[in-house]
Amino acid sequence: MEKKPWFEADIIELFSAREPEGVHNLVKGIGDDCAVIRPPGRQDLVVTADMLVEDVHFNRKWHPPFALGRKAMAVNISDIAAMGGTPQFAFLCIALPPQLDQDWLVSFRDGFRSMLSEYAITLAGGDTVRGAQLNISITLLGSVPAGRAVFRKGAGPGDSIYVSGHLGSAAAGLALCQSPRVCSTLDEHMVQPFLQRHLDPAPDLACGILLAESGYVTAMQDISDGIATDLAHLCRQSEVGAEIESVRIPCHEHLPGICEALNRNSMHMMVSGGEDYHLVFTVKAGSEEALEHYLAGKKKQAVYRIGTITSGSGVALCTGKEKKDITFKGYKHSG
């Protein structure tokens, strides 16, 4: 069957059909030259943008379009989570190569919409073009109560360092996708959590909001490039250093076995692997027990204390008596 060409009007209709009308704070959405948004009272706007480029940030050989539509939103939601905000309005810009068929685009749209629905986000606009390579760019607007946004700057010596989930899972998932022969030899139930974390990550939005509300968190950011790099960003902004203890870094129970099958180092994946999209945050010295009690009362999943902020600079990984500098030695996207 001959492929039907897509025109910009078709794509706009595909993504905007059934968008709800009368959304709170959205005066005008898709259909005009600009969206018109009326900021809520006593709220600060938080705005983020991320671009996913084919063969740099994802590979269509193993990344299903439905999951890619979800992930494109997830990486932006994770940024909003790191500020303690609530996402509200999305703007999608996409460059589509001519070889993409209708089925692929519809599946991508469905995945994208599923995330909008799951997190109560409205698609308010965007743009579409033809391109030689698939490029997906999303801008996401959200809000946070005035003065409550959590920044990377704010950590002080003696503060405790926490993460909100297992590290290294997404990196292991990527390695499995890149090594299909190894993946095929492993039990499906064993590999599924790692493939899921790479292909369809779930941002820790509820956790970010609770952490900002608690008043105990001094600095925060999401983990997209590995704890070695993302904690280094936080430290640089706060003008401090950090020491993390290797034995405290949380990982999935099957990560060592997956890494053994892949002939990879599990600690390297936990420290330098990217795209886990959990949160790294610091807590006022002496407030650790109060924070953990606060989160337990909200029935939030566990958070993990992995180290301490120091008065120096850089990030050190402590294994026994040995300290290894891992500053900015995280994941780097490449073609």
Say how far apart CA 60 and CA 253 lie, in whole Å. 29
> What backbone torsions phi and psi does residue 42 show, to the nearest 5 degrees?
55, 35
Q: What pLDDT score does 79 carry?
A: 97
Q: What pLDDT score does 314 carry?
A: 96
CB burial of 221-244 (b: ≥16 within 10 Å; e: otherwise) equals bbbbbbbbbbbbbbbbebebbbbb
Structure tokens that stand for 24 in this block:
């709170």
Q: What pLDDT score does 1 carry?
A: 40
Residue 327 has pLDDT above 70, yes or no: yes
Compute the CA torsion angle 6, 7, 12, 15 (nearest 10 deg): 0
Average pLDDT over residues 183-202: 96
Residue 116 has pLDDT above 50, yes or no: yes
Confidence at 102, pLDDT banded by 50, 70, 90 = confident
Q: What pLDDT score does 11 carry?
A: 65
- At 267-282, the pLDDT tens digits run 999 999 999 999 999 9
Share of the chain above pLDDT 70, in %: 92
Average pLDDT over residues 172-199: 96
Give the lowest-confidence range in 193-197, 216-220, 284-288, 294-298: 294-298
Residue 13 has pLDDT above 70, yes or no: no
Q: Where do the domains of the chain lie, and which CATH numbers do they carry? A: 8-145 (3.30.1330.10), 160-325 (3.90.650.10)
> What backbone torsions phi and psi does residue 54 show, to the nearest 5 degrees?
-60, 140
Residue 335 has pLDDT above 50, yes or no: no
- At 209-234, the pLDDT tens digits run 999 999 999 999 999 999 999 999 99
Q: In the 8-state DSSP scheme, what is residue 24?
A: T
Average pLDDT over residues 284-295: 95
Say how far apart CA 149 and CA 246 lie, in whole Å. 30
Compute the CA torsion angle 301, 331, 216, 240 (nearest 10 deg): 150
Alpha carbon separation from 216 to 84, 150, 293 (Å, rounded) = 12, 11, 12
